[in-house]
Structure 1
């Protein structure tokens, strides 16, 4: 503590010595509003233009607020615009139409099981209670969904909508268009948040940003080496919403949480999924929650980078209507509809040190449930392959033919009996529609888990207010929603609950700010 400057001492008086001791008194953690001149003023400022940011922005603007959304990248939407577009909504109207019984309690129990029971139940309850509200908001904005429900891994019943275009862009783009038509709003790209501006009482009253920022994907994290952009100070009269997403692509920070996650570990995320905003919030005293829990998505393909074009084949065809086999044995090794952590762990055991990638398989009936682009694009890329016979498929991947065909026959019997006696995969008619692996051509793709979602982040309450480590109370003027927060998903998130999480707490932030 011997080298604290007068400026650091001033900051300690503003935000509290305890909070700054926690962050080693980072000289760039925050500035006092008396020391800056604001260039512009808004009611609400939101950092991030994905599901959470757009939901917060639209909701706040509906209440007559002047709203500014800031996006550091040149493209709008972050991970939201490239995700698979699957959205869990418990107790939805389509479930009732199809005779599917669901409840808030069932939804929460499914999430808790996947999250190893370390989820924050109060936050999960908010999602269960409000998911239908935000679903209706997306419809109001113009989002379109398929007239059928999916069952994502770990869910006990089908409760998941999928966008008509099979991408999160089917929600993001209509919401962006809706937002831009509202009065008193602006969405600004290439604008990077650098520091919070605090009042004497510690309230967050504004931001220091850089306009004209150019993200550098060569850096391993948000780094001071990148000095692009012009500094501006923006005042937020009613508050700031942090909706900056997770940090799967922040190699430095993620590797400190788990030393195995070095630069060679692939991720489904967009390049800008870094920890900068999260760390700045920690530096002003926000409470960290479960930051070291980082999820692998089990449906990716090793033959392409990132999320790619092959993931949705596994999400909506092979895992639901087919099987995953160990190519060395020709046998199944997991419940293909288990939660993500369970499946990823099982796949890693098969892959081992010799990169023995499992093979994900289904038949021609199964792929009829895919959107055309989810079948055509991976076939064109050569990562998804089509075979006239199971023998041809086995030969291509060096799978023992006899054992493989026995596995397929056994699985088909399980489907007919609606019971998987080996791994407990749900096989009732509402899930697999009596689809077996029997009608050629057959399809196969190699599988591998990739870094997908960071479970941990900022502690928020049920009103989306960020909670201080030191006072145990909300940090005045600071809200957060989506993947930058922690606690909702516990150890592992169920597929399709991210959109519900982001949209719900974005809406709640917009209501309470």
Structure 2
């Protein structure tokens, strides 16, 4: 090693050194952290006791809670925010399903193996293959389970970027609320205790190291740390962590990806922070892929958060339009590539000073007919309307002749059924032969954390050192890591959340209970 390397150790070297010191400090046995109160079963006293505590109320949390309840367990759901649902409520409500009845109705041939292959390709081969297969195998049955609980899908299949074939179903509301609301309604009807403004402060474990409950701050007002009252809630069978990602925790995400500063907006709700992940890590949970943070390539710099452009671009621009560089009027990537490929391509559009040069995504009235946020986007001037391509070019200061030549080349590709420029899948490509036109400026936003804690196929959280389950601790959804590898395909968050949530609920409810005492 040379002097420069000695003076400036790499990130990999630092991580290895830190891990080595941590292991050395553990000695021959696995030490459990100081964040969890360790008490004997006989001495443990709780204010309340249930079979299963679910932390988080998104797709994974509500699916876990309902599945555990359907298996006969008593269940409590806690969420630190004043409103249930988290990121799932503002999600686009799209679920990738392999072998759905709607696919068969449209004559689309699909299989679990094809979906697995698509997700492996998008994940750059970094995926946890066993968990990936578990998710894909469960999509068709979980889709029907959601229908049984009141979820309604649009009557057609969509083709999202990175999927080799159309397999995406979407709620009639074009929102994750179309899933969360029916699940919350079903949960309350079934007797599940739903408790908001209840923040996890720490785990309680017995002398054997099993998680038997939580210290919870009730009456908590996010983000005021000292608000509320501390209570102890026991879990006879286990705790399921469905706490999502940390996309809006700017300090922590910047530790993983230094370039993801506060200047880069996020689609996440304010409560998408890292404290629950850190609590699991203090218990010894193995964190993987934390630096794999996805940017949503369909967002616009002209609005905050998820906004109206995200749904418009997902439903209209990407499958039925094209994206061009304003300086040339020409395409520069495959609009149906996976999210990482698209976001990376868009982020290259910069001027000599490194400042963004926002690309324009556009389609015509036919392409935008199913975009439910079009009217709102127009109202708030995020989406702009033009009667012809010359007007569209003028609005966005693009070279009109080059733009028209690009549209002509695209139409030739649609007629031939082959995109010779960028290899885009053409199953649902359409001619852009007449206006009016609808355009939107585009720039990625922090959207999803592929990393989290490692779990096995029983959704048990695995220990960093022993690689064995931490007794009584389960996790599901975005709180876990490894399923998506380097990049999540669109519509696979709902698939992952529902399938792994149900899996966690099923296994946790079947675990051997411990006897706990009330205070």
TM-score (norm 1): 0.91
Residue 195 of structure 2, aligned match among 188, 192, 196: 188
Counterpart of 1:31 in structure 2 is 37
**2:349 partner SS:** helix
CA–CA distance in structure 2, aligned partners of residues 48 and 294 of structure 1: 20
Counterpart of 1:123 in structure 2 is 131
Correspondences of 1:315-354 after superposition (within 5 Å)? 315-352=314-351, 353-354=354-355
Counterpart of 1:355 in structure 2 is 356
CA–CA distance in structure 2, aligned partners of residues 301 and 286 of structure 1: 36
Counterpart of 1:198 in structure 2 is 205
Correspondences of 1:14-163 after superposition (within 5 Å)? 18=26, 27=34, 29-34=35-40, 37-163=45-171
* Aligned length in residues: 482
Distance 1:368 1:72, change over 3 A: same
Alignment of 1:215 with 2:222, yes or no, is yes
Shift of 1:311: 0.8
Counterpart of 1:478 in structure 2 is 473
CA–CA distance in structure 2, aligned partners of residues 424 and 214 of structure 1: 50
Shift of 1:22: 10
Shift of 1:17: 6.0
CA–CA distance in structure 1, aligned partners of residues 27 and 414 of structure 2: 56
**1:501 partner SS:** helix
**2:444 partner SS:** strand
Counterpart of 1:272 in structure 2 is 271
Shift of 1:18: 2.7
Shift of 1:461: 0.6
CA–CA distance in structure 2, aligned partners of residues 359 and 210 of structure 1: 46
- Per mean C-alpha deviation after superposition, the further-off stretch among 248-257 and 486-495 is 248-257
Distance 1:17 1:40, change over 3 A: farther
**1:365 partner SS:** coil
CA contact (8 A) 1:19 1:283 kept: no
In structure 2, stretches of 5+ residues that fail to align are 1-22, 509-519
Counterpart of 1:364 in structure 2 is 365
TM-score (norm 2): 0.90
Distance 1:127 1:475, change over 3 A: same
Shift of 1:37: 2.8
Counterpart of 1:452 in structure 2 is 447
Shift of 1:229: 1.1
Residues 290-334 of structure 1: per-residue CA shift (max 9 Å, x gap): 111100000000000111122111001011110000000111000
- Per mean C-alpha deviation after superposition, the further-off stretch among 29-38 and 361-370 is 29-38
CA–CA distance in structure 2, aligned partners of residues 186 and 406 of structure 1: 60
CA contact (8 A) 2:347 2:356 kept: no
Residues 147-178 of structure 1: per-residue CA shift (max 9 Å, x gap): 00111110000001010011000000000000
Distance 1:21 1:252, change over 3 A: farther
Shift of 1:263: 2.0
Question: Considering only aligned residues, what root-mean-square deviation do their CA atoms show, in Å?
Answer: 1.8
Shift of 1:268: 0.3
Counterpart of 2:240 in structure 1 is 241
- Per mean C-alpha deviation after superposition, the further-off stretch among 294-303 and 257-266 is 257-266
CA contact (8 A) 1:19 1:285 kept: no
Residues 83-130 of structure 1: per-residue CA shift (max 9 Å, x gap): 001100011111111111111111011101111000011011001111
CA contact (8 A) 2:454 2:482 kept: yes
Residues 393-448 of structure 1: per-residue CA shift (max 9 Å, x gap): 001111011111100100011111110001011113xx23xx22122110000001
- Per mean C-alpha deviation after superposition, the further-off stretch among 186-195 and 88-97 is 88-97
Shift of 1:26: 6.6
Counterpart of 1:388 in structure 2 is 387
Alignment of 1:376 with 2:375, yes or no, is yes
**2:190 partner SS:** coil
Residues 167-199 of structure 1: per-residue CA shift (max 9 Å, x gap): 00000000000010003x211000000100011
CA–CA distance in structure 1, aligned partners of residues 249 and 28 of structure 2: 23
CA contact (8 A) 1:294 1:455 kept: yes
CA–CA distance in structure 1, aligned partners of residues 93 and 288 of structure 2: 26
CA contact (8 A) 1:19 1:469 kept: no
Shift of 1:350: 1.3
CA–CA distance in structure 1, aligned partners of residues 158 and 27 of structure 2: 44
Distance 1:477 1:17, change over 3 A: farther
Shift of 1:459: 0.4
Shift of 1:137: 1.5
Alignment of 1:263 with 2:258, yes or no, is no
Shift of 1:351: 3.6
Shift of 1:19: 9.8
In structure 1, stretches of 5+ residues that fail to align are 1-14, 217-224
- Per mean C-alpha deviation after superposition, the further-off stretch among 57-66 and 29-38 is 29-38
CA contact (8 A) 1:89 1:159 kept: yes
Distance 1:19 1:291, change over 3 A: farther
CA contact (8 A) 2:30 2:466 kept: no
